[in-house]
Amino acid sequence: MTDDQLAPLPLCRLDDLPLRGSKGIMHQGQALFAVRQGDRVFVYENRCPHRGVPLEWVADQFLDSSQRLIQCATHGALFLPESGECVAGPCVGQSLRQLPCYLHDGQLWLGVSACD
């Protein structure tokens, strides 16, 4: 499925995400995860660009101990939440696949807001 084929669909309530936290989401057979950093939320495909494996070992734990970087549990690669770019580990310079998302009525939606 390409980004332009994604219809706006709710993924979860914003309240389901801690202010600095993450949540795994299965959406239409695709493994995704959401990362919240205060007022900003980002959605990524749950797949490490280095190994092609899911990023977490424990459900909903996609962040490092500082809760500021996305971490691959398999080999410790670190990614920026804002862009998905790998900044440490074997896949430096590669990025996670980010999906468009927006917040509306207290929910996180997949797709592009009609208000944009």
pLDDT 10s digits, 94-115: 999 999 999 999 999 998 776 6
21 or 2: which carries more pLDDT confidence? 21
Residue 43's domain comprises: 3-110
- CATH number, residue 43: 2.102.10.10
Q: Which residues of 3-35 are buried (b: 16+ CB within 10 A; e: fewer)?
A: eeebeeeebbeeeebeeebbbbbeeeeeebbbb
Is residue 104 domain-resident? yes
- Is 36 part of a structural domain of the chain? yes
> What's the confidence (pLDDT) of residue 112?
79
Mean pLDDT of 79-89: 96
Arithmetic mean of pLDDT, 23-52: 94
**Half-sphere exposure (Cβ direction) of 29: Cα atoms closer than 13 Å:** 1
What is the three-class DSSP state of 13? strand
Q: How many domains does the chain have?
A: 1
- Residue 9 sits at φ, ψ, to 5 deg, of -140, 140
Q: Report the C-alpha gap between 37 and 81 in whole angstroms.
A: 8
User: Does 53 fall in a domain?
Assistant: yes
82 vs 70: CA distance, rounded Å = 10
Residue 116 lies in a domain: no
